[in-house]
């Protein structure tokens, strides 16, 4: 069970979040505060796995808070509460290390979905940590990318996966592991099969490959929903054609609207190549 710290200058918001977390058994609230400066001190003692913070607070905004908090707890996950639609502020929050947004007014379904995604992601990270230690102890095999790896390239990749809504889904860490290996070897996806590279990290490369394909497909579906909600959405405009074939994203949009029974097709090598290219820019 993950530990969660709550920060919002409105005590009604923290009360609502505590009630949802308790009723849905999403984790353990290890602390809460209405003051960002006090919260930073509390983090040193509570050591939460997840911090949920408001974007707009008096004295210190949420972006500044997350930047300072990550200096104290770099391994924690950060979720931001916001009723702001400013793309610049949202982009600044992602750059600071925020992985997900929860919109105000608080919606219980969204809270459950986001926290469950974070919990699943952290569980996968712990598993990969254990794998890394085992491989290191045995002195053989390839090492998966560490969740704590904060190289500029992997930070860019995490940001992109977050913006298309798949950073916390099953398969996201596999994508990061594969991309990190391509970067380390200076290879391109076209030079080796995905199955072969998955075999470097897993005794079941087919399962790892399927997780990657499902995660990439989920990203396409998320972008298709963004495009249907707002065709000029910044993330839709930037990533629909870059990571995927735009005609396939359009097909996914038609599928969502019930215009066709065929879903968009993900070209996984294009997806990985585009991620690698973006990480190097």
Summarised one tens digit per residue, pLDDT across range 218-269 is 999 999 998 888 888 888 888 988 999 888 999 999 999 899 899 999 999 8
Residue-wise pLDDT tens digits, 196-216:
888 888 788 888 899 999 999
Q: How far apart are CA 216 and CA 239, in angstroms?
A: 12
Q: Say what percent of the chain tops pLDDT 90.
A: 37
Q: What is the pLDDT of residue 138?
A: 44
Distance (Å, whole) CA 256 – CA 228: 9
Q: DSSP letters along 118-144, please?
A: HHHHHHHHHHHHHHHHHHHHHT-SPPP
Average pLDDT value over all residues in the chain: 85
With bands split at pLDDT 50, 70 and 90, how would you rate the model's confidence at 118? confident
Q: What pLDDT is attached to residue 159?
A: 87
3-state class (DSSP) for residue 246: helix
Q: What is the pLDDT of residue 139?
A: 46
Task: Report whether pLDDT(270) > 50.
Answer: yes
Question: Above 80 in pLDDT, residue 40?
Answer: yes
CA distance 55 to 66: 10
CATH number belonging to the domain at 3-117, selected among 3.40.50.2300, 3.40.50.10860, 1.20.1250.20, 3.40.50.20: 3.40.50.2300
Residue 54 has pLDDT above 80, yes or no: yes
* Range with top average pLDDT, 118-127, 147-156, 261-270: 261-270
Once rounded to an integer, what is the mean pLDDT over residues 7-11?
94
> How many CA atoms are closer than 13 Å to the CA of 262, on its beta-carbon side?
8
Q: Which residues pair with 77 in a beta bridge?
A: 50
pLDDT of 147 above 60: no
pLDDT mean over 22-31? 92
232/267 Cα distance (integer angstroms): 24
Domain extents in the chain? 3-117, 142-280
- pLDDT above 90 for 146: no
**Backbone angles phi and psi of 138, in degrees to 5:** -80, -20
Question: From start to end of 21-114, where are the E strands?
Answer: 28-33, 50-54, 77-82, 100-103
Helix 205-229 and helix 172-185, axial crossing angle in degrees, nearest 10: 110
β-bridge partners, 51: 5, 78
145 band by pLDDT with thresholds 50, 70 and 90: low
pLDDT, tens digit (0-9, with 9 covering 90-100), for 63-99:
999 999 999 998 899 999 988 767 778 888 888 888 8
pTM: 0.53
């Amino acid at each position: 069970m993950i530990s969660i710290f709550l920060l919002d200058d409105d005590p009604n918001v923290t009360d609502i979040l505590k009630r949802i977390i308790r009723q849905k058994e999403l984790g353990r609230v290890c602390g809460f505060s209405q003051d960002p400066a006090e919260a930073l001190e509390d983090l040193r003692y509570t050591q939460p796995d997840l911090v949920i913070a408001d974007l707009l607070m008096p004295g210190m905004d949420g972006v500044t808070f997350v930047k300072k908090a990550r200096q104290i707890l770099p391994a924690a996950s950060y979720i931001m509460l916001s009723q702001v639609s400013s793309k610049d502020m949202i982009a600044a929050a992602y750059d600071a290390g925020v992985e997900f947004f929860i919109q105000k007014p608080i919606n219980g379904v969204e809270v459950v979905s986001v926290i469950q995604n974070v919990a699943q992601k952290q569980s996968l990270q712990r598993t990969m940590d254990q794998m890394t230690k085992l491989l290191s102890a045995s002195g053989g095999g390839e090492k998966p990318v560490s969740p704590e790896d904060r190289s500029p390239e992997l930070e860019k990749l995490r940001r992109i996966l977050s913006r298309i809504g798949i950073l916390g889904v099953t398969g996201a860490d596999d994508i990061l592991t594969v991309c990190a290996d391509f970067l380390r070897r200076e290879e391109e996806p076209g030079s080796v099969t995905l199955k072969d590279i998955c075999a470097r990290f897993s005794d079941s490369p087919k399962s790892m490959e399927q997780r990657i394909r499902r995660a990439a497909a989920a990203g396409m579906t998320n972008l298709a929903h963004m495009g249907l909600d707002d065709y000029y959405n910044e993330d839709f405009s930037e990533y629909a054609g870059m990571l995927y074939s735009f005609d396939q994203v359009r097909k996914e949009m038609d599928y969502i609207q019930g215009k066709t029974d065929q879903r968009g097709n993900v070209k996984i090598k294009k997806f990985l190549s585009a991620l690698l290219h973006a990480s190097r820019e």
